[in-house]
Chain A
Amino acid sequence: MRRRVVLLAVAILVAGVMSADAQKRGGTLRVSYGNEIANLDFTTAPGYELNWVAMNIGCGLLGITPDGAFVPDAAESWTISPDALLYTFKLRKNVLFHDGTKVDAAAVKFSIDRILDPATRSSMRTYYEPVVHSVEVLDPSTVQIRLKQPYGFMLHMLAAYRMGLLISSPTAMQKYTLEDRKAGKPEAVVGCGPFRLVEWVKGSHLVMDRFDRYYDQGFPYLDRVVIRVIKDPVTQMAAFKAGEIDFIVDFSPEHVDTLKAQNPKAQIMTGKETTPMVAMMKITVPKDGKPMSKERAPHPIFSDVRVRKAIGCYGIDRKEIVRIAFKGQATPWVGIIPPGTPDTVDVTHLCSYDPAKAKALLAEAGYGPQKPLTFELLTNNDKSIFNVIATVIKEQAARLGATVHIRVIDKVSWLNVVTQDGPFDMFVEDLASLFTLDQNTLLSTSTAAWNMTRHTDTKVDDYYARYAREMEPGKRKAIAKDFQEFMTDKLYWNTISGSPFYEVAQPWMKGYVYQAEWKVLYKKVWLDR
């Protein structure tokens, strides 16, 4: 028996060495983004592009695998108290920041306290503030997070909400200013991840080099990662075809077929959608005409749930939209949680396309030939697909006798209108990706700053609270199901379909694991040229 165990151990060791030998070291990975990075302050900069950089420069307490398992990062282990209020993390002793200082419990406390500090203006504060009570340093390598109440998504939040918790170097944070970090000064942008920042030239490139003192010896395989912004998909495809780039993050779904035809050996990666494409209808408007006012009045058209359901539920042929706008490469969907997010339930059958039912509801609400329904559909020119969807909705609404005026504006103006309680009836956009349903509190509780439809139903908040506090996965799933049916019934949130996310890699790029928008990690990537 003992001999068998020894043989097994030797076999595993040999297999490990052989597989490690198979990976080639060195080389430069050339990556293309479709959008520019806003700035390099990990705590405040908006946009996924920065997240995809930050998660390679920074390290956190833990990570997550595509199948949802939590894996150690700077923390080698952790325990959760039976009352689910204390999370204790034991840190590795050999983790260094790029500035040479040590990653210890004090640095973890510093990082979480920074997020909680309103002066930091961290976008993560929305999640941390309601649940984190305090952080305590038990010893240099042990840190304990005390929660205000049990929270079923603590590890999810630490691992992957936005870019996950990235541990900041207190030394670098105190030495350099916010402006230094935003501008991408390499000495100021310090992490403990596998790559260190070499240079960011806005509009041109971002360069990261291997951090030689990375705690996970042997990683990363690459010497360098160079990220360039190529906004035009045709140029992206040309650069890919010519072998000028190795990897495209967030490739436009409309061009996938063309790229496949041009590059039969390309690795085209996608999965179930985690981002919803929505056609949101405004529920309330400010009573006093002042945006964001707490005094609310019903929206003249869509405060009536019959009209919402007539237009948004039975009046929208989601399959047709997917066929025309996405060339079939998306899932028609109604639920508030996209198809790829855990605890999702397909409630699309509750809103199957039924123009007769839609017309009847409109008639019941007082709309018809005598009083035709007319509303404005607001969208932006950030992605051409929004306008295609808006046009199809206009056509579908016309079949119900409703007139839709499409207004296309630029993204910044659009953001101002929809997030700042500006005047709109309906808008089309693909919103933030959802790692968990809990993450959507940011956009849909009645009190959320970005509650764009401005619904005032506190039942929504109750559902979210119950869901977040439930520690038992089975019960949580049941709450999620009820909630999705409730939201489909009320239509405070109107999903059209999933919004697919594609990544494209050259055949020689190996070791990359697709994790949707959540994780774009180069640590284990190697080049087999």
Chain B
Amino acid sequence: MRTYILRRLLQIIPTVLMITFVVFVMMQSIPGDPVVALLGDAYTEEDAVKVRQAYGFDKPVMVQYFIWLGKLVQGDWGNSILSGRPVLKDVMVRLPVTLELIVLSMGVALIIAIPAAIIGALRQNTWADYTATSIAMVGVSIPEFFAGVLLLLVFSIGLHGLLPSSGWVYLPGTCPTIVCGISVWGNMQHVFMPALALGIGRAALLTRLLRASMLEVIRSEYITTARAKGLSQRPVVLKHALKNALIPTVTVMGLQVGFLIGGAIVVETLFAMPGLGTFGIDAIIARDYQQVQGFALVTAIAFVVINLIVDLTYTFLDPRIRYT
């Protein structure tokens, strides 16, 4: 097991290198010179040349990439071109916000998906199943920004500011800056709508998938055997059927992390959250290459690590699975 984990962790290196390289090349190949935006109306060609030299933009793309990589190995993630702020410091400020959002959206998705899928599978072709499936279909069809705006209108405007519309309050002990709102209740209030907006779509997808798996599993011989042995419905469903049905669902959950990071960009912008999603999109829009690389690096690592955790949960769900 330890060897397997180590091997998987080592696999992160080529994956991350590949992702950061592709992102780097793509960013350099799209039109738009950040130096023009940086110098603004004080732009002169002479100054632009000096700034490009200072940031190494006058060098070939491959050289620039290896310079960035060389610094990265030494723990230097570089400074943002526009703000001059250290990229690593800003990433560390924003990462907890996005991680919490992603974890809670996945939580929201599971809280909705598991009961809906079980009901749908156990009462196949009844009104309960149709309701669960229809809701799932609606959930899949609603984009995050639309769900977010609807939630804003209901909870922040319609219900007289029941929930805060924007911003962030940190959990105690996690404030990374001098001035922070800190409160557990405040944090829950701030994360509720974004997590729901992001989680609804995933819930719908997982419901459909889990329902299909459950339908397959409950028709298996071992479930029939369990019932024949006199086990009640509850342990049959929760202990035997659900556990096995969850395996493909867990795989998809891991892959969904990528979509969640993409969705976080939209949701964080809408709810004005200081997370990694807004950090990434702002960087891409401004052609802030250093910041984009920081974003790509951290999301790639997050994606690979979360998928590793997903793989490891297989051993819990199915003890026959052994990693060597």
Give the B-binding residues of A (Cβ under 8 A). 36, 38-39, 41, 44-47, 118, 121-123, 125-126, 178-184, 198-199, 201-205, 207, 226, 228-232, 234-235, 237-239, 241-244, 262, 292, 409-413, 415-416, 419-420, 432, 442-443, 449-450
Contact = CB atoms under 8 A, between A and B. Distances in A.
Nearest to A226: B179
Contacts, number: 158
Contact of A229 (B179, B271, B272): B272
A447 B164 CA distance: 51
A235 B179 contact: no
Interface string B170-211: 000000011100000000000000000000000000000000
Interface in B150-169: 152-153, 156-157, 160-161, 164-168
A240 to B, nearest CB: 9
B166 A230 contact: yes
B272 A228 contact: yes
Given A229-B272, A416-B36, A420-B36, A199 B179 contact: yes
16 contacts: A36-B282, A38-B82, A39-B82, A121-B42, A123-B41, A181-B84, A182-B83, A183-B83, A203-B274, A203-B278, A203-B279, A238-B157, A239-B156, A243-B161, A415-B32, A416-B33
Most buried by A among B33, B36, B165: B165
Interface of B: 30-34, 36-45, 47, 79-80, 82-86, 90, 93-94, 149, 152-153, 156-157, 160-161, 164-168, 177-179, 269-272, 274, 278-279, 282, 285-287
A184 B93 CA distance: 15
Contacts of A44: 39-40, 42
Contacts of B161: 241-244
B36 A412 contact: yes
Contacts of B152: 234-235, 238
B166 A442 contact: no
A226 B167 CA distance: 12
A231 B167 CA distance: 12
A412 B32 contact: yes
Contacts of A203: 90, 94, 274, 278-279, 282
Given A241-B161, A412-B286, 14 more contacts: A38-B37, A44-B39, A46-B37, A203-B279, A204-B168, A229-B272, A230-B272, A231-B272, A235-B166, A238-B153, A239-B166, A239-B167, A413-B30, A415-B36
A416 B165 CA distance: 35
A201 B38 contact: no
A355 to B, nearest CB: 36
B41 A235 contact: no
Contacts of B270: 232, 234-235
Contacts of B94: 203
Given A238-B156, A292-B45, A415-B37, A179 B79 contact: yes
